[in-house]
């Protein structure tokens, strides 16, 4: 058992170490793949933003940054409210045709602001003007302060959008700003053309509800992937992955709560899906919106398949080796048992008894415990063999062995010393108690039929361990006591205390 533990325990630990390393490698490969896909998504979002930025610059130069428009904004910058109303109507008329044309390309907003950040004209909502944007539109404030263009995603009082805000400058003088922005449909359409996937765009609820006009709240609705995000009703997805989002909420919501890009893979309706989340930050670096991309996954499915195959092979190898080791250990235990057991009687053999004697004598010396030894011999055993045959002699030996096993204490040891001689070790037993036990057992044998053909008795020599005893001296003294029992007439127990 000790050998089995020494070999099997490290084997099991090695097996679990291998499983850990295989699992860790799979998880690392999966994590690396998701990171690569997130990087690709980020690159595509940034590339889309640059494309729209270039387009917006073109629109600005061709439509807004011209003398007629700039002159009206110059006039409006210093005019009274009544005059501004007239100027506003003229400006709306001047750019309306261009605005209507650009709407075909998901162009969403022409929004003019005065130098003090006051909204002057919203082409997408002309009846809403005059509100101060300083506290709600950081892009407008920065452009009017720095006189430099700004590009950023930003929720608005009506729409959310990637905003391209430009200063309005005529003859070196600053007369306000203009915002050009596209519907998020532009982003989603371009992304869909770059890679087949279901794209969603959601805005954090708190980023919208804190600044939006009250009568424009209906432009938004709850998103299908989190109650903390809203959908723009004009940018609603055409596909439905609500079941997937609900099923994997324990994976998706921690990513959305963290504000850090992330992703995961999950089974849904019989196919494996890859879900990626890419956050969009405002000018202050706050994650105020996000793209969620859902696509069919094949790479991670292959990773998982390879992982399961390797795990299966590893388990099979381990079970094979473990089974072989158990068989080997059982055979070793069996061989060890056979080498220490007398095959006829089932008792310990002489080799086993010597080993036990060494342990017990060491215990006697170390703890000063008493130890008695009985040497037993079957009287006239040769006559039994000669008269009734060796089969009957074997029966006598086996019956005596069974009687010894049933009569001894659990702490005692009994074995066949050789031929018709047996040895019994009485642990924690002083000489006097050993003599009594020997006499009782001798009488029990005499009253028991070890053979159905002839009466059988035994003689017993009994002694106890004394100082400086060796195994040889202890056995020799027990043998002398047995010889004396034979000399006195057999069928008796005789003890010798000392040499």
Taking the C-alpha atoms of residue 262 and residue 256, their distance in angstroms, rounded to an integer, is 9
Is 420 among the catalytic positions? yes
**3-state DSSP assignment of residue 259:** coil
- 474 with 497: CB under 8 angstroms? no
| Residue 424 · residue 408 · CB < 8 Å | yes
Helix (H) or strand (E) run with residue 207 in it: helix 205-209
The answer to whether 41 touches 278, Cβ cutoff 8 Å, is yes
Distance of alpha carbon 22 from alpha carbon 304, whole angstroms: 11
Q: Which residue has the tokens 């997805």?
A: 237
The CB density around residue 91, as the number of other CB atoms within 10 Å, is 23
Length of the chain: 499
Name the nearest CA neighbour of 173 among 84, 271, 265, 75.
Answer: 75
Question: Among positive and negative, which fits the CA dihedral 252, 255, 258, 259?
Answer: negative
* 200 vs 184: CA distance, rounded Å: 10
Q: Whole-angstrom distance between the N-terminal and C-terminal Cα of the chain?
A: 40
Q: Apex CA 50: angle with CA 46 and CA 55, to 5°?
A: 150
Of the residues 228, 420, 439, 484, only one is catalytic, namely: 420
Active site residues: 420
């Amino acid at each position: 058992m000790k050998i089995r533990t020494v070999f099997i325990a490290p084997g099991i630990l090695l097996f679990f170490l291998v499983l850990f390393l295989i699992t860790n490698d799979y998880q690392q490969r999966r994590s690396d793949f998701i990171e690569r896909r997130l990087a690709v998504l980020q690159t595509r979002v940034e590339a889309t933003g640059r494309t729209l930025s270039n387009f917006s610059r073109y629109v600005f130069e061709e439509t807004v940054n011209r003398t007629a428009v700039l002159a009206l904004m110059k006039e409006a910058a210093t005019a009274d409210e009544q005059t501004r109303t007239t100027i506003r109507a003229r400006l709306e008329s001047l750019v309306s045709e261009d605005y209507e044309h650009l709407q075909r390309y998901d162009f969403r907003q022409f929004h003019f602001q005065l130098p003090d950040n006051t909204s002057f004209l919203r082409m997408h909502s002309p009846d809403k003007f005059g509100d101060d944007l300083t506290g709600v539109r950081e892009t407008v404030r920065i452009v009017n302060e720095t006189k430099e263009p700004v590009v950023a995603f930003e929720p608005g009082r009506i729409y959310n959008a990637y905003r391209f805000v430009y200063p309005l400058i005529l003859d070196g003088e600053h007369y306000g700003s203009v915002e050009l922005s596209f519907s998020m449909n532009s982003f989603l359409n371009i992304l869909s053309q770059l890679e087949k996937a279901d794209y969603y765009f959601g805005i954090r609820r708190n980023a919208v509800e804190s600044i939006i006009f009250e009568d424009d709240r209906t432009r938004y609705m709850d998103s299908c992937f989190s109650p903390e995000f809203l959908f723009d009703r004009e940018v609603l997805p055409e596909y439905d992955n609500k079941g997937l989002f609900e099923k994997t909420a324990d994976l998706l919501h921690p990513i959305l709560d963290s504000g850090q890009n992330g992703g995961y893979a999950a089974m849904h309706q019989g196919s494996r899906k890859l879900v990626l989340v890419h956050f969009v930050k405002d000018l202050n670096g706050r994650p105020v919106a996000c793209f969620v991309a859902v696509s069919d996954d094949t790479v991670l499915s292959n990773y998982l398949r390879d992982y399961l195959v390797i795990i299966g092979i590893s388990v099979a190898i381990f079970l094979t080796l473990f089974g072989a080791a158990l068989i080997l250990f059982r055979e070793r235990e069996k061989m060890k048992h056979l080498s220490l057991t007398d095959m006829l009687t089932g008792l310990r053999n002489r080799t086993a008894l010597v080993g036990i004697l060494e342990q017990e004598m060491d215990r006697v010396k170390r703890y000063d415990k008493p130890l008695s030894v009985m040497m037993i011999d079957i009287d006239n055993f040769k006559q039994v063999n000669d008269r009734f045959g060796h089969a009957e002699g074997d029966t006598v030996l086996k019956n005596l062995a069974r009687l010894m096993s049933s009569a001894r204490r659990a702490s005692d040891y009994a074995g066949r010393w050789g031929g018709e001689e047996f040895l019994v070790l009485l642990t924690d037993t002083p000489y006097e108690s050993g003599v009594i036990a020997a006499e009782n057992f001798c009488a029990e044998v005499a009253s028991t039929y070890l053979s159905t053909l002839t009466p059988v008795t035994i003689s017993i020599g009994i002694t106890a361990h004394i100082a400086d005893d060796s195994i040889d001296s202890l056995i020799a003294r027990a043998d002398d006591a047995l010889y004396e029992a034979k000399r006195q007439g057999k069928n008796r127990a005789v003890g010798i205390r000392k040499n």
